[in-house]
């Protein structure tokens, strides 16, 4: 089966003063439809850097990323943004919501950016899925931390992505909300989406079909 996401020998360097930090050192990874892959590793191991490169938000300095059979890396920003809008849902711990738009408008925007005629879940249905019925007219600033992550998940799912990438989505959640978010990620994978989650949570690694451990920018 062709993987939904394929990354080959990714390298990423940063400069901190005179020092060079090697955040990713030859990481290869693939995620197939229906898999839930957890990325773990100590703080500073390179998890967020890896996910940013896989989502086309950041450009690796070496290696390549392919999503849904298309090359995502070494592409102009506009091409990466289009591929992301069409194929990838991204959920960050600190929100993927535009602060000046209501939750409903955030969801609709993600749907419009996809520019496809495939039927979408309606805004109300997406809000119900994440347990935020009737909150479409709220602004992101009016939501609690847990509600904000769930609204972010509704936005990440709004384009019906083949690939869902979530960076520490349950990091600051209470146990009940963590379980809800995890259940949604598992259900999404069971429905055929390729799901990649960076997380320190044991509940997430226990629910994953595969765990990739990162240490010092290398995958074990
Ligand atoms: N923009 C940047 N400039 C300089 N160094 C960076 C930058 N982004 C990341 N790094 C460094 O790259 C390494 C990997 O960072 P990254 O945030 O990917 O780790 P992480 O595994 O996600 O950590 P955490 O679990 O704490 O979020 C760290 O040494 C970090 O300091």
Taking the centre of ligand 1 as the mean of its atom positions, its distance from the CA of residue 155, in whole angstroms, is 25
For a mutational test of ligand 1's pocket, the pick from 12, 24, 49, i.e. the residue with the most ligand atoms closer than 8 A to its C-beta, is: 49
Domain of 108, CATH number, reads: 3.40.50.300
42 falls within a domain: yes
pLDDT recorded at residue 12: 97
77 falls within a domain: no
170 falls within a domain: yes
142 falls within a domain: yes
pLDDT recorded at residue 83: 94
24 falls within a domain: no
113 falls within a domain: yes
**Minimal-distance CA residue to ligand 1 atom 5:** 14
Of the pLDDT bands very low, low, confident and very high (cuts 50, 70, 90), residue 156 is very high
List, for residues 80-103, the tens digit of each pLDDT value: 999 998 999 999 866 789 999 999
Mean pLDDT of 157-163: 91
Q: Name the residue range of residue 112's domain.
A: 32-57+85-219
Cβ of residue 145 lying under 6 Å from some atom of ligand 1: no
List, for residues 19-55, the tens digit of each pLDDT value: 999 999 999 999 999 999 999 999 999 999 999 999 9
Angstrom distance (rounded) from CA 150 to CA 155: 9
pLDDT recorded at residue 120: 56
141 falls within a domain: yes
ipTM summary value:
0.97
179 falls within a domain: yes
The number of domains in the chain is 1
């Amino acid at each position: 089966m062709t993987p939904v996401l394929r990354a080959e020998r990714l390298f990423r360097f940063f400069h901190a003063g005179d020092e060079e930090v090697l955040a990713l050192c030859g990481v290869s990874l693939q995620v197939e439809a229906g898999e839930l892959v957890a990325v773990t590793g100590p703080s500073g191991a390179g998890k967020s850097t890896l996910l940013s490169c896989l989502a086309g938000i950041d450009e690796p300095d070496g290696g390549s990323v392919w999503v849904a059979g298309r090359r995502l890396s070494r592409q102009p920003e506009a091409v990466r943004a289009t591929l992301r809008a069409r194929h990838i849902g991204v959920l960050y711990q600190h929100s993927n919501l535009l602060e000046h738009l209501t939750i409903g408008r955030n969801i609709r925007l993600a749907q419009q950016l996809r520019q496809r005629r495939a039927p979408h879940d309606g805004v109300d249905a997406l809000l119900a899925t994440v347990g935020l019925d009737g909150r479409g007219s709220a602004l992101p600033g009016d939501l609690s931390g847990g509600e904000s992550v769930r609204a972010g998940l509704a936005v990440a799912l709004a384009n019906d992505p083949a690939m869902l990438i979530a960076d520490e989505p349950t990091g600051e959640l209470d146990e009940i909300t963590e379980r809800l978010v995890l259940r949604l990620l598992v259900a999404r994978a069971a429905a055929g989406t390729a799901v990649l989650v960076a997380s320190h949570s044991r509940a997430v690694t226990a629910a994953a079909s595969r765990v990739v451990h990162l240490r010092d920018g290398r995958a074990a």
